[in-house]
Amino acid sequence: MMSQEQSQPVYTEQQVQQFAAEWQNQQPSIERLAAMEKDLALLIEVLSANSDLTAQPSAFEPQNDVIYHQSEQIQSQQSSSIDSLETIIAANKAAEAGVQLGLYLTPKKVRHQVLNLKRDYPAVLNDLDFRFKTREQKGVTLYGLRAGPFANYTQATAFCEIAKRMGQTCVTAPFIGEML
């Protein structure tokens, strides 16, 4: 014996007709979105290539306590910020050409990424050295993965074009930072 619930259809014929009418009304919008899909994918690729942060946002990172320790400076004043900025610019100009392959939240993640890259692309990356450059961005310490040195920025740019085709974020940058 069948219960009443099993014998009744889930949707009535009128409801099915309403769904079909809504589908027909929405069909032009769906087609327009499908046509825009390739453009949106290209836009996402361009934005990703221009993005500085390739690691997960801090909201998705495990919560670790980080303690920073600095010794106190005895000097009454350090060099002015203008002098230090000029020093940084001069150092960048004097540095060898390199590329930055992303920003990460910890040095450990930088090292892990180097291992992944060397494993995935050994022929391309075997002759390169790796460094990481620490920088502050909106109160967060980020570690930029640098690869190099290249003979010039033209070679670094060519390397970045190849890296981008392989799905890797890449921008030209001075080959500076701490050795890995």
Q: In what order do the strands lie in the sheet with 178-179?
A: 171-174, 97-104, 140-150, 129-137, 178-179
Does pLDDT of 92 surpass 50?
Answer: yes
The Cβ of residue 43 has, within 10 Å, a number of other Cβ atoms equal to 11
Bigger pLDDT: 92 or 27? 27
Lowest mean pLDDT among 25-39, 44-58, 147-161: 44-58
Where are the alpha helices (H) located in the chain, listed in sequence order?
Answer: 4-7, 13-50, 81-94, 107-120, 122-125, 153-165
Which residue type is seen at 154? T
**Domains of the chain listed by start with CATH number:** 10-50 (no CATH), 52-59+95-180 (3.30.70.1070)
- pLDDT tens-digit map of 49-88: 555 454 444 445 445 555 555 554 444 444 455 666 666 6
pTM score over 0.85: no
- pLDDT tens-digit map of 101-158: 999 999 999 999 999 999 988 888 888 999 999 999 888 999 999 999 999 999 999 9
